[in-house]
Structure 1
Amino acid sequence: MKDASSEIPPTEEHPPVFPDRVWWKSPELRKLNFCVLSLLLLSSSSGFDGSLVNGLEDLDSWVSFMGHPTTTWLGSINAIYWIGGFVSTSLAAWICNIYGRKIGIYMGVTLLLAGTILGTAAPNGNAYLGSRVLVGCGFGWIGSSAPLLLNEIAWPPHRGVSSALFMVGYYVGAVISSWATFATRTYTTSWAWRLPTLLQFLCPLIAIPGVLFVPESPRWLISQGRVEEARQVLANLHANNDTTSPFITYEVLDIQGAITAEKEAASSTGYADMFKTPGNRRRLFITVTLGLFAQWSGNGVVSYYLAMVLDTVGITNTRDQLLISACLQVWNVIFATIGASSVERFGRRKLFGTSAVVMLASYIIITGLSRSFDKTGSAGIGTAVIPFLFVYFAGYDIVLTPMLTAYPCEIWPFGLRSRGLNILWLSSISATIFNTFANPIALGAIGWKYYIVFVVVLCFYAIIPYFFYPETRGYSLEHVARIFDGEDAVGPSGKEVLDCVVREGGEGEEEEEKAGSVAQVERV
């Protein structure tokens, strides 16, 4: 007789005994990974935008069309995207809790399409600015719903990596955008910037068939009392439609237990609950600081104003600037993928520490080289900045790209998960809006001296995660709560219930054991 417990994932008291499955050999995991890939592509729109404006700044036709933007006007063009995201993300978090995760994705894709069409056909600068508001609102909806759905449908052994890969799609969009602007740099018509603008919807368009195929979150379904629907979704994605699988029974029990425990611990799941317990206050501190570090660690200067940075070190040729930007985005995809793939192998804390050391060291060198170029005007010194920009982004990519949405999604319990992700985006977008106005003014006024500010921020980045960010490797989405709230934070273990069922079943047939497991789920 096959031991049912061999198909059941572990608790902290039991070693991992997940089924040994190779995803490309398993039909349900092939189906699941198709859904995951589709969700990953949706994050491309934000990365496309960051790289797009950076590249358009080098195109004379776009600069002329937008009225030769500098300082405040240039900052407004960049910031208006994030203002749109800021406005929509809180509404999206509320809607996703009430009506499910998928509606937020549908809203986001619709707004992205509308914004892309308007931007491509824009007759003047104001219309183009309006298109950026729509695109920003679109990503606000997507960024507040897609990471939640991805976390809540992922195959448990792959959840950490799958979730971390979501923001890698950011750089996939950036790669397409940077090479598109490089390819159209010689166009003599407005299609030099209209074509790259049109391509902003390319990845979301490719993702649409998969998005339609993705089911609703089983955790949200269980929270609404729709347990049988949730069991069917989990069975379809994790057990080849076998709803009586002990593994599926365990998942349903575990999710039910965690959601029940949350409801018993608090009468509501509003933003005020984020301040009520020490565990939630720690989660809130982590979420806010992570959002700030993601934008105030110096990357915003290079992401949106690389042309201005390269100008300060003597690299002013349009072709050279666009080529460096395009190569940098390919580099980012590689290292963001490496970081996302390593979260379970090395753990979050080791990656945060490595990231901080690499970023701080390289930024200090960049600052020193920029100062030397400012004093000497040496082309060699200016060129030496480039490899350290790449080193800096390698450090950024391995953690602050993949963990930006993945870490908050896994540390917040279900009832506060959408609001936690909303707080992450509000803090990150606020920092970005400030940067987009401050960075061009500061770079224009004091040049390389502005980099010292980010050196200071990176010192805090090296300290705060070390003392306050816990390791979550090896924990299920439900059991992470034990790190913050203690051993009683989740409900009864599904494995303990199933072990009891198997013991009572003795040496009967496997089908009888599974039937007993299902009956136990219904009683719970």
Structure 2
Amino acid sequence: MPSWGSSVPRSLLSVFRPYSQRASPEIETMEEQQAETPLLGLNTNGKRSGGCVSIQQYLDDFTRPRVSGSSTVVSILLVLCSCITSTTLGYDASMMNGLNMLPSYHEYFQLTTATTSLATSALWIGGAIAGLTYGQVTDAIGRRNSMFWAAVMTFISVIIQSGAQNTATFVIGRILVGYGTSASTLTGPTYLAETLPYQWRAWGVGLLNDCYYVGGFIAAGITYKTANLDSIWAWRIPSAVQGIFSVLCIVILPFIPESPRWLANVGRREEALTVIAQTYANGDETNAVVLAQYQQIIDTIHYERETGETLSIDQLAKNPVARKRITLALSVAIFSTVSGNVIASYYLGTMLVNAGIVNVTDQLQLNIALNAFCLCCALAGTYYSDHLGRRITGLISTSLLTIFILVVGALTKVYGMSANRAGIFATVAAIFLFQGAYSFGWTPLLYLYPPEVLNYPIRAKGMGIFTFVLNSASLLCVFSFPFALESIGYKTYLANGIWDVLEVTFIWFYWVETSGKTLEEIDAVLDGIKHSEVPSLEGVVRES
């Protein structure tokens, strides 16, 4: 077996070499040079030089990890913390779905079609701003610290939203909530993808967005219970409860480690090795799999620095691989938003009215049932995204939702606003099947696939662009669909179905498979060149 590379700390060479053969004199020289050369403006002890020291030290001390010795516990806490951020977003969607059905909410703010659209879509304005700014923050202060400040911002924003006395304050609160939640969902997938063991990445990152429906289910239940309150608390209580999830995230953060890839990239290599050991081998830094993963990361970082890959316009123009990476990531942002799901996610009440169900209580009950059904479908999709692969799961999901949205349009045309109970039930069933098909694929893939196809130099900023496009597309859809449903009715679904056919075609011809590989191995597939002499981690796992 050839030597694995050159960047293992000296204290580990005696452990590392029996597995990988002794390093050559050239590798010894490279080790000495690397030990003398700080990375990204950091000292050899891993701390930033200059004026940034106090800020970084403050952040590190404030939320210093108190990590369990069990890799299983660490992985569970990692997933739990990130899932809570997605729960917040799902809660918001279902909450607004419920509020849009409540007469007390509309009467308090005296909402029109335009102001209803603005209040609902304001979340995505803040999200788009987060996409433009928070990727840089995530690279600068780390994934874990970024999660903390995003949670704090979301909590403060929920207070403003739930205490709003007029439409303007409510909209401002929702813009800020959108910034905080999108900052979390930008950082969370990046953090999980970089920190979890590769064999748990599909479940860990997939569950992140599956919990969207956990939040949706909770919000639907709370809104249903408060709907009968004869006061403004019918909508204020659901709004205020949204802040609980941010508090839970803040409580968990001290017990999980920083991303090992971020630590390695800023020169804190010993800490990176420790984190890999904590997530793979119960803290055993001599474990062969731990050392293999560590060396893959270090070798890939050196390759990426040599190529100097960035997200600049010049780089994208010159580098077809960088273009492919960002195109793949943005295809997820667009397809997951423009497939027609926004209609059912935020305007289920309007869809049900068009289908002939006008009773508010019936609508709220269906909202609860829909969230429970979608959660089950999303969990099934998470399982199959690991076993069938990301590409096949995306194809199955998008093909099915295309069929079902066309069925919804046809049934709405025939039975909309009619008294035919069979037709009404068939329309509702088609809505459920459409959302279930969407949830099967796009719910787990939304935050799983983009951080896999984006390599480290562009991952955080790329996820920022992804978040901006996702929120911009959502803003467009959430704001425009009420007018489309009002003016052209069932034709909205038919037009969306035609678009969905194009999505299926793109996935079939352009997507690459990423399941069963480490992030560095995915990089090698896209780049067409292996960055490290380390064997695949699957092979190391089998041998160890």
Into which bin does the TM-score normalised by the smaller protein fall?
0.7 to 0.9
Given the superposition, is the C-alpha separation of residues 340 and 436 from structure 1 closer, same or farther in structure 2, using an over 3 Å criterion?
same
Partner in structure 2 of residue 251 of structure 1 = 293
2:387 to 345, 350, 358: 345
Q: Report the alpha carbon displacement of residue 494 of structure 1 after superposing the two structures with TM.
A: 6.1
Structure 2 CA distance for aligned equivalents of residues 412 and 480 of structure 1: 9
Note if 1:49 corresponds to 2:92.
yes
Structure 1, 295-304 or 34-43: larger mean CA deviation = 34-43
1:38 to 63, 67, 81: 81
Structure 1, 374-383 or 408-417: larger mean CA deviation = 374-383
Q: Report the alpha carbon displacement of residue 137 of structure 1 after superposing the two structures with TM.
A: 0.9
Structure 2 CA distance for aligned equivalents of residues 430 and 103 of structure 1: 26
Note if 1:122 corresponds to 2:164.
yes
Structure 2 CA distance for aligned equivalents of residues 383 and 463 of structure 1: 32
Aligned AA (2:387): R
Aligned AA (2:181): F
Aligned AA (2:403): A
Aligned AA (1:492): E
Note if 1:492 corresponds to 2:539.
no
Note if 1:283 corresponds to 2:325.
yes
Partner in structure 2 of residue 65 of structure 1 = 108
Aligned AA (1:29): T
Q: Report the alpha carbon displacement of residue 231 of structure 1 after superposing the two structures with TM.
A: 0.9
Given the superposition, is the C-alpha separation of residues 275 and 396 from structure 1 closer, same or farther in structure 2, using an over 3 Å criterion?
farther
Question: Per-residue CA shift, 1:186-225, capped at 9, x if unaligned?
Answer: 1111111111011112233223222222211110010011
Contact preservation (8 Å) 2:355, 2:415: yes
Partner in structure 1 of residue 200 of structure 2 = 158
Partner in structure 2 of residue 14 of structure 1 = none
Aligned runs of 1:383-462 on 2, under 5 Å? 383-462=425-504
Q: Report the alpha carbon displacement of residue 55 of structure 1 after superposing the two structures with TM.
A: 0.3
Q: Report the alpha carbon displacement of residue 61 of structure 1 after superposing the two structures with TM.
A: 1.3
Q: Report the alpha carbon displacement of residue 70 of structure 1 after superposing the two structures with TM.
A: 3.0
Question: Per-residue CA shift, 1:438-463, capped at 9, x if unaligned?
Answer: 10111111111111111111111211
Q: Report the alpha carbon displacement of residue 267 of structure 1 after superposing the two structures with TM.
A: 6.1
Question: Per-residue CA shift, 1:43-96, capped at 9, x if unaligned?
Answer: 1111111111110012121111111x2322111111211101111222110111
Partner in structure 2 of residue 17 of structure 1 = none
Structure 2 CA distance for aligned equivalents of residues 240 and 387 of structure 1: 47
Contact preservation (8 Å) 2:344, 2:351: yes
Structure 1, 385-394 or 198-207: larger mean CA deviation = 198-207
Aligned AA (1:79): S
Question: Per-residue CA shift, 1:445-494, capped at 9, x if unaligned?
Answer: 11111111111111112111000011112211111012211024x23326
Contact preservation (8 Å) 1:147, 1:409: yes
- The secondary structure found in structure 1 opposite 2:520 is coil
Aligned AA (1:46): L
Question: Per-residue CA shift, 1:301-340, capped at 9, x if unaligned?
Answer: 1111111111111100000000101110111111111111
- The secondary structure found in structure 1 opposite 2:242 is helix
Structure 2 CA distance for aligned equivalents of residues 149 and 375 of structure 1: 47
Partner in structure 1 of residue 349 of structure 2 = 307
Question: Per-residue CA shift, 1:2-41, capped at 9, x if unaligned?
Answer: x999999xxxxxxxxxxxxxxxxx9321222122212111
Contact preservation (8 Å) 1:120, 1:194: yes
Aligned AA (2:275): V
- The secondary structure found in structure 2 opposite 1:402 is helix
1:171 to 213, 227, 242: 213
Partner in structure 1 of residue 150 of structure 2 = 108
Structure 1 CA distance for aligned equivalents of residues 140 and 191 of structure 2: 14
Aligned AA (2:502): F
Q: How many residues align?
A: 480
Aligned AA (1:130): I
Note if 1:195 corresponds to 2:237.
yes
Structure 1 CA distance for aligned equivalents of residues 294 and 321 of structure 2: 25
Contact preservation (8 Å) 1:257, 1:493: no
Q: Report the alpha carbon displacement of residue 376 of structure 1 after superposing the two structures with TM.
A: 5.6
Note if 1:136 corresponds to 2:178.
yes
Given the superposition, is the C-alpha separation of residues 404 and 468 from structure 1 closer, same or farther in structure 2, using an over 3 Å criterion?
same
Structure 1 CA distance for aligned equivalents of residues 376 and 18 of structure 2: 36
Q: Report the alpha carbon displacement of residue 103 of structure 1 after superposing the two structures with TM.
A: 2.5
Structure 1 CA distance for aligned equivalents of residues 91 and 318 of structure 2: 39
Note if 1:481 corresponds to 2:523.
yes
Q: Report the alpha carbon displacement of residue 415 of structure 1 after superposing the two structures with TM.
A: 0.7
Structure 2 CA distance for aligned equivalents of residues 206 and 107 of structure 1: 13
Given the superposition, is the C-alpha separation of residues 288 and 495 from structure 1 closer, same or farther in structure 2, using an over 3 Å criterion?
closer
Contact preservation (8 Å) 1:301, 1:439: yes
Structure 1 CA distance for aligned equivalents of residues 186 and 314 of structure 2: 19
Given the superposition, is the C-alpha separation of residues 87 and 7 from structure 1 closer, same or farther in structure 2, using an over 3 Å criterion?
farther
Over the matched positions of the two proteins, sequence identity in percent amounts to: 26
What TM-score comes out, normalization by structure 2 length? 0.84
Aligned AA (1:54): N
Partner in structure 1 of residue 259 of structure 2 = 217
Structure 1 CA distance for aligned equivalents of residues 247 and 19 of structure 2: 38
Structure 1 CA distance for aligned equivalents of residues 112 and 191 of structure 2: 40
Contact preservation (8 Å) 1:287, 1:423: no
Structure 2 CA distance for aligned equivalents of residues 36 and 55 of structure 1: 28
Structure 2 CA distance for aligned equivalents of residues 104 and 132 of structure 1: 20
Structure 1 CA distance for aligned equivalents of residues 417 and 256 of structure 2: 57
Q: Report the alpha carbon displacement of residue 160 of structure 1 after superposing the two structures with TM.
A: 2.1
Contact preservation (8 Å) 2:451, 2:463: yes
Structure 2 CA distance for aligned equivalents of residues 477 and 486 of structure 1: 14
Show structure 1 runs of 5+ residues with no match: 9-25, 503-509, 511-524
- The secondary structure found in structure 2 opposite 1:141 is helix
Contact preservation (8 Å) 1:405, 1:421: no
Structure 1 CA distance for aligned equivalents of residues 418 and 478 of structure 2: 29
- The secondary structure found in structure 2 opposite 1:167 is helix
Note if 1:184 corresponds to 2:234.
no
Structure 2 CA distance for aligned equivalents of residues 107 and 138 of structure 1: 8
Given the superposition, is the C-alpha separation of residues 375 and 61 from structure 1 closer, same or farther in structure 2, using an over 3 Å criterion?
closer
Structure 2 CA distance for aligned equivalents of residues 226 and 365 of structure 1: 55
Structure 1 CA distance for aligned equivalents of residues 427 and 223 of structure 2: 23
